[in-house]
Amino acid sequence: MFRLNHFKTESGRPYPIGATPDKNGVNFSIYSQNATGISLHFYNAFGYETNVFQLTEKTDDVWHIYVAGAKAGQRYAYRVDGPWDPENGMRFNKNKLLLDPTAKLLTHSVEIHKSQFAYKMGDENLDLSFSKTDSAPFTPKCIVVDVEKLRNDVIQNSPDIAWEDTVIYEMHLRGFSKLNTQLSKSEQGRFLGLSAKKSVRYLKSLGITSVELLPIAAHTNPLFLKEKGLSNYWGYDPVCFMAPEPAYMYRKNLGQIQTMVRLLHDVGIEVIFDVVYNHTGEGNEMGPSLSLKGIDNLTYYRLSPENKRYYMNDTGCGNMLNFDSSATLALVLNSMRYWKEMFDIDGFRFDLATTLARVGDKGVYSKDAPFFEALSKDNILKDTKLIAEPWDIGWGGYQRGNFPTRFAEWNDRFRDACRRFWKGDFGQVRDLFTEFAAVQYDEKIYYQDAWRRINFLTAHDGFTAYDLVSYNEKHNQMNGEENRDGNSANWSWNSGVEGQTKDKKILDLRFKRLKAMLATLLLSNGTPMLLAGDERLNTQYGNNNAYAQDNVVGWLDWNHMGPYARKMQSFVQSVLTMRKETPFFAEDTWVCLQDRNGIPLDANHLSEGMRDFAFVCQTLGETYFIIMNASDKPVQYRLKKGISYQCLLDTAEESVFVGKDIQVAPWSFTVLLEE
């Protein structure tokens, strides 16, 4: 052990919680209601411990100390002592080095090691046993960050896109640029890659308004994945909510994130962070102790009322955070404020958002939950976009349509209806019509809050769009779970051949079907979300659960499908231009289904045998006629007498006017404008 530095200490102050430098030193504070002792440990750049400080001052369950002479860049972590009583929810073990929950920067990624488990792995008493192994050599260190410098450097230039104009582009930061050979090695797969001029120009030219980044916070890489030669690619197992994943940075420079946001803002593109506040990467009772579990397990996690040894698990990820706790609530809100204030982030998408609003011993969802109440009163976050994944796996977990009105919500019903209709399934017309037009089943009106529907065809979780038309079944063998993982209900059709093919007829059919599907998404009434790479026919080779594929399976392939990809990109650009210039669903829109003879139809009395439908849409003095045909045969529709029509869109480019009728091609989406 090296002790090279000598510091003077003072009692310090409890707030703000975290490591806060000033011109004379650094104030350290950390919350723990049930700990009996906490020590602060300093490390040098070589990983050697240089100093240990006992925190003896405690105010409102916040332990604090001021270290004079310390400064930004100092590496540190904590050890927390207290009862080892797992059956009563307490898992204190001072042999485990713990990360500051409010850390802004880590020395390196979190690779799980057996020393980080607070119990003896392999012991017959399982998690009731006690480990005396020191985890320090295998645990990253936190780095003190000068937050005031970040505050001074940030440029507030949010484009402030109205919800009604928003088009979201969901992307994995690393996967988006990792294979882009037009970028340098230092840019590929990092924040620098997204802020590169070529990336910014590409996104702007596409016509999207907002990028939604999969989790960028530091996350764990579990042992079971490492043993398979895989890694936690998606990053949905966070360990520090405010620290970016070190692998996404070049030389640990937080300014890279500020620059990325600023450059995207400069061209009118918002930045939305996908945040995981429902659980952490510490897992259940058999998981590692990295931060919250060792700091105050009983406070931060929702434990079983019957036996606090075990965790409630409505997330399916081993644990769930306790939002009845003011400490948990403060940690989450402070992290949101940090990203907003220091990086000018425009919004947040909440993974498994139902969990954030579970209250009481039984963890029941409530619209009056403390999290919602706190958000409604927060001045810093008042103008941010909020998006809910409105479900978790617990009882009463599906809450679509039941979040506060400020939230937009992922619309899985649009996803399923769109996929099933364009797969060619019968009986899908009513569902797709009501989801596409955002009408109620029994009224020919659109929802006033249609923007709250985040309509999507694909997302990170599932097939890519190209795989929807290329695979009947999931092919997840590379995940090492014998293809058991991932959803088997994909509502996909391979167009005649499973997987990759050179058959031009099959490729043309896939291209035609996918154009119709993407037009349905991008012109829908609501907020469309496009998965990065779908406009380039990106494939995951049939893997619909690429959470552990930090390789060519999970990365965006910029060269896949050559000419077809370039044509699809151009098509998506044109449809997004059309959406912007031709709003079908503006204020006072009226829509009405019609049969092939032009007679109005009741959405509740549609034939189960229909695979095509049409409807009239009147808005802003214009009348549109929209036809979708998911059959393998052309279909003829009667047009109004004495009215001429302009064809604004024909995804198949094969539709023809026949006298008073229009004949639309198989697998086509057609839009006509009355002149």
Q: Which residue, among 655, 637, 421, has the nearest Cα to 520 in the 3D structure? A: 421
- Residues known to be catalytic: 351, 389
Provide the residue count of the chain.
675
Residues 6+ apart with CB under 8 A from 508: none
The span from the CA of 397 to the CA of 356, in Å, is 11
Q: Are 626 and 584 in contact (CB under 8 A)?
A: yes
Tell which phi-psi region holds residue 659, choosing left (phi > 0), alpha (psi between -120 and 50) or beta: left
Please list the alpha-helical segments (H only) found in 135-214. Answer: 147-153, 173-177, 191-195, 197-206
Task: Identify the CA nearest to 107 among candidates 278, 14, 244.
Answer: 244
Name the burial class of residue 674, with classes exposed (0-12), middle (13-18) and buried (19+) by CB atoms within 10 angstroms of its CB: middle
Q: Measured between alpha carbons, how far is 195 from 611 in angstroms, rounded to an integer?
A: 44
From residue 310, alpha-carbon distances to 33, 127, 301, 357, 656 in Å are 20, 10, 10, 20, 65
Query: Residue 526 phi/psi, 5° resolution?
Result: 150, -160
Residues 6 or more apart in contact with residue 153 via CB below 8 angstroms: 255, 258
Terminal-to-terminal C-alpha distance of the chain: 83
Nearest to 197 by CA among 274, 272, 271, 266: 266
Residue whose token pair is 């349905």 = 520
Residue 337 CA to residue 325 CA, distance in Å, equals 18
Helix (H) or strand (E) holding 416: helix 412-423
Judging by DSSP bridges, how do beta strands 210-213 and 168-171 pair with one another?
Answer: parallel
